[in-house]
A and B are shown apart, each in its own frame.
Chain A
Amino acid sequence: MKPFEFITAVDEHQALAAAARAKFLAGGTTLVDLMKLHVEQPAALVDINALPLDEVEELPDGGVRVGGMVRNSDMAKHPLIRGRYPLLAEAIVSGASPQLRNMATTGGNLLQRTRCYYFRDTALPCNKREPGSGCGAFHGYNRIHAVLGGSEHCIATHPSDMCVALAALDAVVRVRGRGRERSIRFADFHVLPGDRPEREHALEPDELIVAVDIPSTPFAVRSAYVKIRDRASYAFALASAAVALDVRDGAIHQARIALGGIATKPWRAHEAEAMLIGKRVDPGVYRAAADAALRGAVPRRHNAFKIELAKRTLVRALTRVGAMA
Chain B
Amino acid sequence: MGADSSVAIQVGAPRVEFAVDVTLTINGKVAHLNIDPRVTLLDALREHMHLTGSKKGCDHGQCGACTVHVDGRRVLSCLTLAAAAKGKHVTTIEGLADGGELHPMQQAFVDHDAFQCGYCTPGQIMSAVALLGEDCAPEDDDVREGMSGNICRCGAYPAIVAAVQSVRGRR
Contact = CB atoms under 8 A, between A and B. Distances in A.
Q: Which of A5, A25, A33, A96 has the most B CB atoms < 10 Å from its CB? A: A33
A102 B75 contact: yes
Q: How large is the interface on B (under 10, 10 to 19, 20 to 34, 35 or more residues)?
A: 20 to 34
Interface in A1-54: 1, 3-6, 8, 25, 28-29, 32-33, 36-37, 45, 47, 49
Contact of A33 (B17, B79, B86, B134): B79
A98 interface: yes
Given A5-B18, A32-B79, A33-B79, A102 B144 contact: no
Contact of B80 (A3, A28, A96): A28
A6 B81 contact: yes
Contact of B74 (A32, A33, A99): A99
B41 to A, nearest CB: 10
Contacts of A29: 61, 76, 79
Contacts of A25: 81, 84
B75 A5 contact: no
Interface residues of A, number: 28
Contacts of B80: 28, 32, 103
A29 B60 CA distance: 9
Contacts of B86: 8
A98 B79 contact: no
B71 to A, nearest CB: 10
A300 B146 CA distance: 35
Given A32-B40, A103-B80, 17 more contacts: A3-B18, A4-B37, A4-B38, A5-B18, A6-B81, A28-B80, A37-B60, A96-B149, A97-B148, A97-B150, A98-B130, A98-B149, A99-B64, A99-B74, A103-B76, A233-B148, A234-B148
26 contacts: A3-B36, A4-B37, A6-B83, A29-B61, A29-B79, A32-B79, A33-B60, A36-B60, A37-B60, A45-B37, A47-B83, A47-B84, A77-B135, A97-B64, A97-B149, A98-B130, A98-B149, A99-B61, A99-B67, A99-B75, A99-B127, A102-B74, A103-B79, A103-B80, A232-B144, A234-B148
Interface of B: 17-18, 20, 36-38, 40, 59-61, 64, 67, 73-76, 79-81, 83-84, 86, 127, 130-131, 134-135, 144-146, 148-150
